[in-house]
Structure 1
Amino acid sequence: MPFYKEIPLPPHGVLMLWKVETGEGLPVSLTEASRKRLAGMKRQEHRNGFLAVRMLLERAGLSDDDVLYEADGRPLLKDGRQISISHSHAFAALYTGPEPYGIDIEKIHPRIIKNRPHFIRDEVILPGFEPETLTLIWTVKEAIFKLSNSRPLSFLTDLHVHSYDLSSGTGTAVSTFPGWEKGFCFQFEQIEDYMLTWCKIT
């Protein structure tokens, strides 16, 4: 399970990626709560992602004990810095820094086309790039949700991706959820057959 890459997010944040390789142990120290949580995970894929995030925490100078969880599952850092976590199949991602970011990574797969009616209303989908652009829009909405403090957002009616540019890897989005009307800017990068997105409130 090797460290994959690091993306600096100014002013002092960092987004890190770990590539999961099956069959390799991880020398990571876990709290009792995390050991119980890990033991309760039935799928090896979920266990691998959980451990890979702990390796990224150590690379960021943190330990498993530095992470707290809200009742709804949102992670918090004891030192007050912001944190966002995502993992999907072969990759785990971790953001830490002073500014709130939401991050998401998802595997690009044609089956997302079938799910289009559940989260696409007015977004433009590029012909010939349906799996890529649909996955991008999904990751943007997931990243926004992670910034929302678990508000009951509808990906179909409350979150809207207004623009995205595949050449620059940037875009904009909005939330129209009553009482949480916000604008967002995001960046994204295709890594192998995965889409990685990081987003912040403007």
Structure 2
Amino acid sequence: MPLYKSISVNSQTCVKIWKIEESYNDLMKPLDLKPNSLERVLGMKSELHQRGFLSVRHLLREFGYTDQDLYYDNYGKPHLRDGKHISITHSFTFSGVIISDHKVGIDIEMQRDKIAIIAKKFVDYEFNYLKSDSEDYINKLTVIWGIKESLYKLFATPGMLFKKHFLVIPFMIEDGQTVAWIDYDNKKYRYNTAFFEFEGFTCAYVVP
């Protein structure tokens, strides 16, 4: 079972990453899914999405949970029945879960050049320090997207816009961390965030 990476962020928070190498059948065999989870996975048209969904359930097992311990609210945000906070992500051949005593968010993104095409949709303030001709431009855009996606998952408030309400302060890729702000509804919220790169992917998460 390819648990790819496990990170103890602090005493209350842990991140686990899964590399999805198994077939759909191999991932499905050991799992006991709730009826609505089974219906959901069987209704997915892409096997890649099915395997991503199932790999998340394997990550839950790594934490000591089962599919029965997980539920989603009306906004699609995942929750655990014991009250701990959880965030989930999967991208192509990797999935990730972060669990904490505090609100958290996590995102995994493949590093792709086409992110530069949509940069204006989610970047505003950050253009002040980004250089489009730098070698790490794509990597930095991917970090910014991942951080903003993680914050969005944490806050789970409809109407929030990456470009308008989220701000990521300057960082270097080798730093592996930075500070981000949410400016929404006349209130400001400060968050510590972390990120790392692996096999052409970027993982970003909010540090409680």
Classify the TM-score, shorter chain.
over 0.9
Identity %: 30
TM-score of the superposition, structure 1-length normalised? 0.94
Counterpart CA distance in 2 for 1:179 and 1:63 is 39
Cα offset, 1:138, TM superposition = 0.2
* Residue 19, structure 1, aligned to residue 24, structure 2: no
TM-score of the superposition, structure 2-length normalised? 0.92
Structure 1 62/180 Cα, relative in aligned 2: closer, same or farther at 3 Å? Answer: farther
Q: Structure 1: which 5+ runs fail to align?
A: none
Q: CA RMSD in A?
A: 1.4
Give the aligned residue type for 1:4: Y
What pairs with 1:33-52 in structure 2 (closer than 5 Å)? 33-52=36-55
Q: Structure 2: which 5+ runs fail to align?
A: none
- Of 123-132 and 55-64, deviating more is 123-132
Counterpart CA distance in 1 for 2:9 and 2:102 is 9
Select the structure that is richer in helix. 2
Cα offset, 1:16, TM superposition = 0.2
What pairs with 1:134-173 in structure 2 (closer than 5 Å)? 134-173=141-180
Equivalences, count: 201
Kept after mapping to 2: 8 A contact 1:170/1:187:
yes
- Of 72-81 and 166-175, deviating more is 166-175
What pairs with 1:18-97 in structure 2 (closer than 5 Å)? 18-21=18-21, 23=23, 25-26=26-27, 27-97=30-100
Counterpart CA distance in 2 for 1:46 and 1:31 is 18
* Residue 196, structure 1, aligned to residue 203, structure 2: yes
Cα offset, 1:22, TM superposition = 5.2
Q: Where do 4+ consecutive residues of structure 1 move more than 2 Å?
A: none
Structure 1 57/180 Cα, relative in aligned 2: closer, same or farther at 3 Å? Answer: farther
